[in-house]
Structure 1
Amino acid sequence: MQFVESFGGPEALSLREVPAPQAGPGQIRVRVTAAGLNPMDWFMASDADTARRFGLSLPSGFGTDYAGVVDQVGDGVTAFATGERVFGGALSRAVADHVVIDVAGTIAVGGDAHHTPDGVDDRTAATLTIAGCTAAAALAVVQPGPGDTLLVGGAGGGVGVFTVQLAVLAGARVIGTGSATSADALRALGAEPVTYGEGLADRVRALAPGGVTAAVDLHGTDTVQAARELGVPDKRLTTIAAQVDGITPANGANAAPGALEEIARLVATGKLRVPIAATFPVEQIRAAVELQAGRHVHGKVVVDL
């Protein structure tokens, strides 16, 4: 199991052998094969105040998104069987050989599990939960559709790859911010790239002279500020990483029931793809976190177990 015994950077992570957890009543145990990394993982591991807000204390596990195979089923569980492939979220417990999930739980309390569809490999399944739910929740706020031009800030990041594709599938035109080196990756997702930074509103105006109708800021507040300058009303703006007066923030915990299953179905049918930027064996967890925390990776980072 991966353990955080002191708050800090990737150097605070260490591998520890601990007794395998056992599934109790209403629980399943999953033999984890892959764990996807998210910014929230290292936010919590690096800062005591952030960890406290999520109800975590030391020592702690690490990582939230997981995929694997059910290898124990507790009394009273009928929705899952031994040998079935599953994926889901278990807050700060995912990077481990085994994780115990409460079948009636949530990502934050007890963990959650979903059946992995045929056609979705475990590495991909391990990237879906946090980013997919967050993207679905953000788009539910602004509700893009045919006739909309949606500006997505941080479009090449882990949440961005879902947000862009889901918005395109909804019929919207998508303009995505990123670095100059991310342009090809954004086009591959279906977005029209625009570089972030000073002068963003002018560059977007030149790209979309007919105007922008909605915006999702997946990084901070710069995209929201540019969208306001372009005349987008606050009711069609949202953020995931910052609070802005007058704007409804999005939280993956509020994703609509069934949103994650729908995302997995879209992946299984080839309508949504998840670019995996890099994979690491668990022994190289520090390098994996360093890459993910750099915030310049295009796609998802996955740890193999």
Structure 2
Amino acid sequence: MAQHWIATTAGAPEAWTFEEYDVAEPAEGEVTIRVHAAGVNPADAKHVAAPRAGLEFPVPIGYEISGEITAIGPRTRIGSGDAEIGDEVVAFRIYGGYATDIAVPAAKVFAKPTTLTHPEAANLLLAGTTAAEMLSVVGAAPGETILLHGASGAVGVSVLQQAHLRGIRVIGTASEERFAEIRRFGGIPVRYGVGLLDRVRQAAGAPLSAALDAVGTDEAIDTSLELVADPRRIFTIAAFGRASEAGILAIAGSMPASATFRDEVRGELTALAQNGDLVVPVARTYPLDQAPEAHRFLATGHPGGKIALIP
């Protein structure tokens, strides 16, 4: 029998339940996947942390996985085309990925890049599609210099890689311990903290065209507003209150336009990974039954890479 994690009520991961469940045979338009790795993201816990309108419990946990197809519904093709039982795949924007086996909509399933391990592939698309959208909404173009707050985090590392491929120069904020990671992916690192404004100016050596914020601090927003002339080219995924008052962009994956964009870019990102142009640093893996422990490590704020759960 399969196993999965569910939230039976709002609360922290320690309140989740790891239980056995029956996986239904896939209907038309569905496939069943044996999970080899589940990506661990802050959104997994945030989604069920507190009661809100439209959230009905129990809620299965986990948005992205990597694994192999074990069953295919009738007249069904996956998002990247034809598929057969045994094919290795990734699935993103699903519900219940913290599982041993799961039936999911086939449109959300793509061939797994052979260049990535299962833990890497299971963490490719949530961070990758977020990064792609950040670059898109500010209209970052080849030859421009942009500022990226939180450059050494999962989303930041994907932004660095995608920007580098497009010829976009990135000034990335981080702690000094993470400078090598930023340089590895083509960014120019600067230390956050007192004096950030002057350090960014010196590193840029030219006007900044746009700013992307993945940390949500007042320092990040204030620095961006000071250095980028057009507030419509400042974007945050973390400081929604400041975004509203400052007139800057803020988009989340739950918003319809954002969801549409992220769905459309999945194939492009898996192709980049297949070509070796997009990698996913993984810091640590945990057994599937240790999901709360994985989230405690993630909550330290500096995991140094992605985390995966292994059934």
TM-score (norm 1): 0.89
**Contact map agreement 2:119 2:307 (CA 8 A) in 1:** no
Q: Is the aligned partner of 1:225 residue 2:189?
A: no
Q: Is the aligned partner of 1:88 residue 2:91?
A: yes
**Contact map agreement 1:41 1:63 (CA 8 A) in 2:** yes
Please give the secondary structure, in 1, of the residue aligned with 2:266. helix
CA displacement at 1:139 relative to structure 2 = 0.6
**Structure 1 gap segments, 5+ residues each:** 105-111
What is the CA–CA distance in structure 2 between the aligned matches of 1:159 and 1:264, rounded to whole Å?
16
Residue range with higher mean Cα deviation, 159-168 or 223-232: 223-232
What is the CA–CA distance in structure 2 between the aligned matches of 1:120 and 1:180, rounded to whole Å?
28
What is the CA–CA distance in structure 1 between the aligned matches of 2:26 and 2:39, rounded to whole Å?
23
What is the CA–CA distance in structure 2 between the aligned matches of 1:181 and 1:47, rounded to whole Å?
34
Please give the secondary structure, in 1, of the residue aligned with 2:47. helix
CA displacement at 1:90 relative to structure 2 = 4.2
What is the CA–CA distance in structure 2 between the aligned matches of 1:191 and 1:48, rounded to whole Å?
39
What is the CA–CA distance in structure 2 between the aligned matches of 1:254 and 1:180, rounded to whole Å?
36
CA displacement at 1:14 relative to structure 2 = 2.9
**What's 1:137 paired with?**
133
Please give the secondary structure, in 2, of the residue aligned with 1:298. coil
Q: Is the aligned partner of 1:172 residue 2:168?
A: yes
The Cα RMSD (Å) is 1.9
CA displacement at 1:194 relative to structure 2 = 1.6
Q: Is the aligned partner of 1:156 residue 2:162?
A: no
1:222-280: CA deviation from partner (whole Å, max 9, x where unpaired): 42321210133122211122331322323442426652222222222222221111111
**What's 1:241 paired with?**
238
Please give the secondary structure, in 1, of the residue aligned with 2:20. coil
What is the CA–CA distance in structure 2 between the aligned matches of 1:18 and 1:256, rounded to whole Å?
30
**Contact map agreement 2:23 2:101 (CA 8 A) in 1:** yes
- Give the total of aligned pairs: 294
CA displacement at 1:66 relative to structure 2 = 0.7
Please give the secondary structure, in 1, of the residue aligned with 2:286. strand
What is the CA–CA distance in structure 2 between the aligned matches of 1:226 and 1:147, rounded to whole Å?
22
After the TM superposition, which parts of structure 1 deviate over 4 Å for at least 4 consecutive aligned residues?
none
- The code of the aligned residue for 2:174 comes to G
Residue range with higher mean Cα deviation, 174-183 or 127-136: 174-183
1:4-35: CA deviation from partner (whole Å, max 9, x where unpaired): 22322231133111122321122111111111
1:137-191: CA deviation from partner (whole Å, max 9, x where unpaired): 1111123233211111111112111111111111111111122322222222221
Equivalence map 1:111-122=2 (5 Å): 112-122=108-118
Residue range with higher mean Cα deviation, 295-304 or 55-64: 55-64
**What's 2:74 paired with?**
75
Equivalence map 1:1-305=2 (5 Å): 1-49=4-52, 52=53, 55-78=54-77, 79-104=82-107, 112-220=108-216, 222=218, 223-243=220-240, 244-245=243-244, 246-252=247-253, 253-255=259-261, 258-305=264-311
Q: Percent identity?
A: 34
- The code of the aligned residue for 1:259 comes to V
**Contact map agreement 1:151 1:175 (CA 8 A) in 2:** yes
